[in-house]
Amino acid sequence: MAENEANAAQQGGEQITIQPQKIYLKDVSFETPNSPLIFTKKWDPEIKIEFQNSATEIDSDLYEVVVTLTVTTSAEGETAYLAEVQQAGIFVMQGFAAQDLHMKQNVYCVRILYPYAAAAVSDLVTRGGFPQLLLSPLNFERLYFDRVNRLRENATEEGAQADTQQA
């Protein structure tokens, strides 16, 4: 299935293409603000994970997609570590309508980048002296449609509020 999306296809005479050109680590941060004392605490961590992504047009049909993964872990109420990774990729994306392009950037491209970001975070955590952190796979299609639906609901609510204020 992924091969079908990655390879060129013909639809109505127009060529549809998604092709990764480069995958790279754009930014990395790892902090252990309470070391060395944090290593003496009972290890029953509270883990908070934040996920964001963005896409920027570099050139005609060439896009950079960035996944930002931030993990904040606390033990006994103190921050054990904060790890943040920006994993990026450059993708050729041709022949898509704007709405389809947006969806492919936020689902297909992110699906490619996320495992790299998760592995980088896991490596940072382990090198920082903490137990291995394995992040679960995410359903990017569901996340995308949930976000689109929230934006539509907010726009509808704002429109209704504006109509009420004008009346």
**pLDDT tens, 65-97?**
999 999 999 999 999 999 999 999 999 999 999
Q: What does the pLDDT read at residue 8?
A: 45
Say what the pLDDT of residue 15 is.
85
Chain segment 22-43, per-residue pLDDT in tens: 999 999 999 999 999 999 999 9
Q: Quick one: CA torsion of 53, 51, 85, 96, rounded to 10 degrees?
A: -20
Give pTM, 2 decimals.
Answer: 0.81
Percent of the chain past pLDDT 90, that is, above it, reads 73
Rounded Cα gap, residues 96 and 60, in angstroms: 12
pLDDT digits (tens, 9 = 90+) for 4-23: 444 444 445 568 899 999 99
